């Protein structure tokens, strides 16, 4: 979106103050309750940067802290009665701060790692080390894009997903030029790097257009579906871009009679009650929240819901580089969610986002919560193993 368009969107804000606060906004400072810590104030900061650079808000330490403490969860846009696209405005503000070299040190390391290693963690192991044969599966017209988290941090998600593909008889491959989707670069203000870092991968897709690309990471799917469209004019008109839950929802019966093993699973492997967590990118960003629930209902898995769900769900606290730049803020937000899990009497969080799972698990372990966290595909794979 062009800067002039975003300036017009900024002017849509009528300063009503309905912006989410407290646990609905991870970046909200509940101690000071300063205007600058919630959406309306952050929009004003970006407006000042754009309208009068001589004020030097782009060099302000406070502006850096306020804008980069935004997780990009989008709750503010969902709640806003004027429909202001707050996340896009804040992404623009981050871009302006990056241009002024005023951004968190932790993000500089992420940028260098993606440039040099093709992932934000600086890992040197090949992306396909655990499934080397899939690159050579040239006849497949379905691509699986695991994402960096499922490759380098929670590999069991990708491995269990591959088992599900095999059970379903889906012929898949991974990209030869696969690299980080670089969505994190856009969300931290480094838009100018997207083309160079993703062009080889996108060219491979253009030269041999697949029927579908299937994702287990909502953040990666958002990059392909929305960020590439807005920043690179890439529309994938002849290719379906699907989260795995969308792909699976009408195929679930092909996995076998999973519902017959639910009681056994809950007695031996997973501690109930289970509660479903809607990832921000998946539910609010992409509108995918019915499909995971339809899968759970189809296998007759009992599960609880948070007080706020689907498009109104609350964030795990770690997105858009907040976990790396402001880990205490991310942890504080996650603890709020974990306390809600306790209050609702659940013992296992079930979700469909590697980053949410990783954040929950890290905070659970650090703070010794008696709560388990599991990915939907892992649960399905466990059920299949019981058949």
Alpha-carbon dihedral sign for residues 96, 99, 104, 109 = positive
pLDDT in tens, the chain (387 residues): 678 788 788 888 888 888 877 768 887 777 667 787 788 999 999 999 988 888 888 999 999 999 999 999 999 999 999 999 999 999 999 999 999 999 999 999 999 999 999 999 999 999 999 999 999 898 999 999 999 999 999 999 999 999 999 999 999 999 999 999 999 999 999 999 999 999 999 999 999 999 999 999 999 999 999 999 999 999 999 999 999 999 999 999 999 999 999 999 999 989 999 999 999 999 999 999 999 999 999 999 999 999 999 999 999 999 999 999 999 999 999 999 999 999 999 999 999 999 999 999 999 999 999 999 999 999 999 999 998
Domain edges within the chain:
3-103, 106-248, 256-386
* CA–CA separation, 357 and 54 (whole Å): 43
For residue 385, CA distances in Å to 163, 167, 197, 249 come to: 10, 11, 39, 20
CATH, domain 3-103, list 3.40.190.10, 3.40.50.300, 1.10.1060.10, 2.60.40.10: 1.10.1060.10
Q: How does pLDDT run across 46-66, given as a tens digit for each residue?
A: 999 988 888 888 999 999 999
Q: How does pLDDT run across 71-86, given as a tens digit for each residue?
A: 999 999 999 999 999 9
pTM: 0.95
Contact at 8 Å (CB) between 313 and 280? yes
273: cis peptide before it, omega within 30°? yes
pLDDT at 1: 63
pLDDT at 16: 86
Helix/strand/coil (H/E/C) assignment for every residue in the chain: CCHHHHHHHHCCCCCCCCCCCHHHCCCCCCCCCCHHHCHHHHHHHHHHHHHCHHHCHHHCHHHHHHHHCCCCCCHHHHHCCCCCCHHHHHHHHHHHHHHCCCCCHHHHHHHHHHHHHCCCCCCCCCCCCCCHHHHHCCCCCEEEECCHHHHHCCHHHHHHHHHHHHHHCCCEECCCCCCCCCHHHHHCCCHHHHHHHHHHHHHHHHHCCCCEEEECCHHHHHHHHHHHHHHHCCCCCCCEEEEHHHHHCCCHHHHCCHHHHHHHHHHHCCCCCEEECCCHHHHHHCCCCHHHHHHHHHCCCCCEECCCCHHHCCCCCCCCCHHHHCHHHHHHHHHHHHHHHHHCCCCEEEECCHHHHHHHHHHHHHHCCCCEEEEHHHHHHHHHHHC
pLDDT at 345: 97
Report the chain's mean pLDDT, rounded to a whole number. Answer: 94
Express as a percent the part of the chain with pLDDT over 70: 99
* CA–CA separation, 197 and 206 (whole Å): 16
Residue owning tokens 């002039």: 4
CB neighbours of 6 closer than 8 A, spacing ≥ 6? 85, 88, 89, 92
256-386, CATH topology level: Rossmann fold (3.40.50)
What number does CATH give the domain 106-248? Answer: 3.40.50
User: Fold identical between 106-248 and 256-386?
Assistant: yes
């Amino acid at each position: 979106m062009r800067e002039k368009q975003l300036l017009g969107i900024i002017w849509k804000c009528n300063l009503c103050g309905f912006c989410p606060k407290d646990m609905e906004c991870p970046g909200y400072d509940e101690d000071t309750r300063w205007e600058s810590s919630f959406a309306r104030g952050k929009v004003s900061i970006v407006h000042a940067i754009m309208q009068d650079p001589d004020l030097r808000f782009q060099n302000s330490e406070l502006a850096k802290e306020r804008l980069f403490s935004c997780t990009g969860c989008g709750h503010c846009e969902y709640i806003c009665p004027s429909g202001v696209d707050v996340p896009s405005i804040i992404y623009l503000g981050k871009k302006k701060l990056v241009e002024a070299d005023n951004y968190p040190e932790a993000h500089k390391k992420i940028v260098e790692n993606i440039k040099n290693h093709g992932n934000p963690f600086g890992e040197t192991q090949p992306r396909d080390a655990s499934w080397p044969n899939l690159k050579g599966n040239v006849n497949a017209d379905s691509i699986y894009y695991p994402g960096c988290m499922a490759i380098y941090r929670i590999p069991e998600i990708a491995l269990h997903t591959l088992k599900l593909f095999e059970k379903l008889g889906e012929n898949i491959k991974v990209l030869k030029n696969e690299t980080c989707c670089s969505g994190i670069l856009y969300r931290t203000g480094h838009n100018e790097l997207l083309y160079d870092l993703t062009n080889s991968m996108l060219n491979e897709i253009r030269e041999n257009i697949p029927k579908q690309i299937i994702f287990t990471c909502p953040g990666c799917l958002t990059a392909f579906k929305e960020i590439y469209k807005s920043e690179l004019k890439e529309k994938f008109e002849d290719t379906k871009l699907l989260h795995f839950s969308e792909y699976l929802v009408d195929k679930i019966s092909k996995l076998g009679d999973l519902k017959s093993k639910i009681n056994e699973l809950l007695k031996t492997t997973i501690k109930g009650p289970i509660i479903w967590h809607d990832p921000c990118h998946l539910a609010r960003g992409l509108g995918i929240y019915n499909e995971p629930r339809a899968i759970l209902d189809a296998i007759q898995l009992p599960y609880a819901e948070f007080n706020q769900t689907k498009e109104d769900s609350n964030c795990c606290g770690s997105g858009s580089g907040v976990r790396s730049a402001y880990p205490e803020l991310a942890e504080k937000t996650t603890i709020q969610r974990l306390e809600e899990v306790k209050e609702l009497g659940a013992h296992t969080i079930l979700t469909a986002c590697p980053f949410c799972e990783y954040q929950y698990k890290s905070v659970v372990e650090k703070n010794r919560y008696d709560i388990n966290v599991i990915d939907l595909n892992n649960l399905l794979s466990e059920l299949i193993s019981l058949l």
